[in-house]
């Protein structure tokens, strides 16, 4: 798979690349994102040094939650969405505005012993700025 840009359109391109995979290949990707979320994202999404550093500085429990939701979304071929503020590409850290990452996914998962996880909803990553 080719790396995609960090944009709403890039996430849709990533979704397209993932969901043309056969089920076994998609399960491999789902397990990979679950086991090493940051590395998986860095290998599949074009990130700046600052974006990668931001991701690495997030709380490990939050990262685990992102990884779990991404894995479930992949396995169930759920929509992948990225929501960015209109001025995302023009705001710099020197402006003193903090970036806030919200996982606003609507994933509802269920499971029974011996069966794969099933889910509905969509993966939604949202970035906002504080003033």
Given this model, what pLDDT does residue 93 score?
52
The structural domain count of the chain equals 1
| HSE-CB of 70 using CA atoms within 13 angstroms | 27
Angle between helices 60-75 and 37-44 (to 10 degrees): 60
**pTM score, two decimals?**
0.89
In the prediction, which pLDDT does 19 show?
A: 98
40-72 burial code (b ≥16 CB/10 A, e <16): bbbebbebeeeeeeebeeeeeeebeebbbbbbb
Whole-number Å distance between alpha carbons of 56 and 108: 27
The residue range of the domain holding 31 is 4-129
For the chain (131 residues), the mean pLDDT of every run of 10, in chain order, is: 96 98 98 98 96 94 98 98 82 58 95 96 91 61
Tell me the helices (H) and strands (E) count for the chain, helix number first: 5, 7
pLDDT at 91: 54
């Amino acid at each position: 798979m080719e790396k995609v840009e960090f944009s709403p359109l890039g996430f849709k391109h990533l979704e397209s690349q993932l969901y043309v995979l056969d089920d076994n290949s998609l399960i491999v990707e789902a397990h990979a994102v679950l086991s090493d979320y940051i590395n998986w994202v860095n290998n599949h999404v074009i990130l700046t040094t600052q974006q990668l550093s931001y991701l690495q500085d997030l709380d490990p429990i939050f990262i685990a939650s992102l990884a779990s939701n991404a894995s479930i979304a992949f396995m169930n071929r759920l929509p992948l969405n990225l929501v960015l503020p209109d001025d995302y590409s023009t705001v710099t850290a020197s402006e003193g505005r903090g970036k806030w990452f919200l996982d606003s996914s609507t994933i509802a998962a269920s499971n029974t012993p011996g069966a794969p996880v099933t889910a509905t909803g969509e993966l939604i990553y949202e970035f906002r700025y504080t003033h």
